[in-house]
């Protein structure tokens, strides 16, 4: 038995001597504290190790490379990954495997390679040389949504802007605070198509009531349940800077005469009250401080 043990010991020593002489080290380093054992293997001075927790580690931090430029690992499966410096990824990249996943970019700048045609975001690809190209695969899918908070905003549009509206250009100040349904353009606007003005629901004007200025640029339909006269201070919504430039074509559809009171805030031809009968029309405009009658009454039959 002793001979067998002596032979085994001799073989172990021989293996260690051969390993050291060939420059290759395979060793178990036993620490002074429980659980600090480390197994190492590799060329002397360039070993890789496995510690007592099963971590695959180098012997020197930031010194060894996993793979080479000519020898790649086929794949890496990792639950979490922390990269302390640069990351270069070649080929297609998928971030996240569920629609509930979140991708967070801590950097403040995203740079697109100058040789590329742009950045494509969407479910389809494009060869167009756009800086930013977005596409959707289904009806109701927003290509670009600014200010959206969830699926409650389901408009089918290429661009959807909520919250503070959309502003193009800088330099001047909008006359009103932009809302989610407002658009402010600093310069000229050219439209190849139709612009449809607003036409709100018909308003019934009460005795002493005020005509609501909610049809700027369009047709304002009103009626009355009796022979009434409007408010003698605000015939139409009180003029403000937010309404500057507002012009409406008022169409009266009631069967009783409705009298529009001429006053300080509503200037009429010759300063006289305006009596509207069924189907009469009148255009009014606002300069931010006063409403004005534009032209004569359309006496339609």
pLDDT at 154: 57
Task: Tell me the sheet residues that pair with 232.
Answer: none
| Euclidean distance between CA atoms 51 and 57, whole angstroms | 7
pLDDT of residue 115: 64
Q: Which residues of the chain have pLDDT under 50?
A: 1-25, 30-32
Q: Considering the domain 203-298, what is its CATH architecture?
A: Sandwich (2.60)
How high is the pLDDT of residue 114? 62
Q: How is the chain split into domains, by residue range?
A: 10-58, 144-150+157-187, 203-298
The pLDDT of residue 182: 80
> pLDDT tens digits, residue range 90-100?
878 888 888 78
pLDDT digits (tens, 9 = 90+) for 207-258: 999 999 999 999 999 999 999 999 999 999 999 988 999 999 999 999 999 9
Give me the pLDDT at residue 75, please. Answer: 84
What is the structure's pLDDT at 248?
A: 95
What secondary structure does DSSP assign to the chain, as a single string? Answer: -HHHHHHHHHHHHHHHHHHHHTTEEEEEEPPSSTT--EEEEEETTS-EEEETT--EEESSTTT--SS-SS---S----S----SS-----S-----SSTT-------S-----TTS--EEEESS---S--SEEEE-SSTT--SEEES--STT-----SEEE-SS-EEE--SS--SS---TT-EEESS----SS--PPP-PPPEEPPTT--B----TTSEEEEE-SSSEE--SS-SBS---GGGTT-EEEEEE--SS-EEEPPBTTEE-GGG--EEE-TT-EEEEEE-SS-EEEEEEEE---
């Amino acid at each position: 038995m002793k001979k067998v043990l002596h032979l085994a010991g001799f073989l172990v020593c021989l293996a260690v001597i051969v390993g050291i002489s060939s420059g290759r080290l395979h060793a178990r380093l036993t620490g002074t504290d429980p659980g600090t054992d480390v197994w190492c293997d590799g060329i002397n001075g360039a070993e890789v190790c496995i510690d007592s927790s099963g971590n695959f580690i180098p012997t020197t931090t930031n010194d060894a490379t996993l793979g080479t430029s000519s020898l790649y690992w086929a794949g890496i499966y990792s639950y979490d990954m922390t990269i302390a410096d640069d990351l270069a990824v070649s080929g297609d990249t998928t971030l996240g495997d569920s629609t509930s996943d979140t991708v967070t970019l801590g950097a403040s700048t995203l740079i697109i390679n100058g040789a590329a045609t742009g950045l494509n975001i969407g479910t389809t690809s494009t060869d167009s040389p756009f800086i930013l190209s977005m596409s959707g695969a289904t009806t109701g899918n927003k290509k670009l949504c600014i200010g959206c908070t969830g699926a409650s905003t389901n408009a089918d549009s290429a661009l959807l802007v909520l919250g503070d509206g959309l502003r193009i250009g800088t330099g001047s100040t909008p006359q009103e605070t932009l809302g989610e349904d407002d658009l402010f353009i600093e310069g000229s606007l050219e439209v190849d198509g139709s612009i449809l003005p607003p036409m709100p629901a018909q308003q019934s004007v009460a005795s002493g009531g005020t005509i609501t200025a909610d049809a700027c640029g369009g047709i304002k339909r009103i009626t009355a349940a009796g022979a009434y006269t409007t408010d003698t201070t605000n015939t139409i919504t009180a003029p403000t800077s937010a309404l500057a430039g507002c012009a409406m074509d008022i169409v009266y559809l009631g069967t009783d005469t409705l009298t529009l009171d001429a006053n300080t805030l509503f200037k009429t031809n010759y300063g006289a009250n305006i009596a509207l009968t069924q189907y009469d029309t009148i255009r009014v405009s606002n300069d931010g401080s006063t409403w004005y009658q534009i032209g004569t009454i359309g006496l339609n039959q």
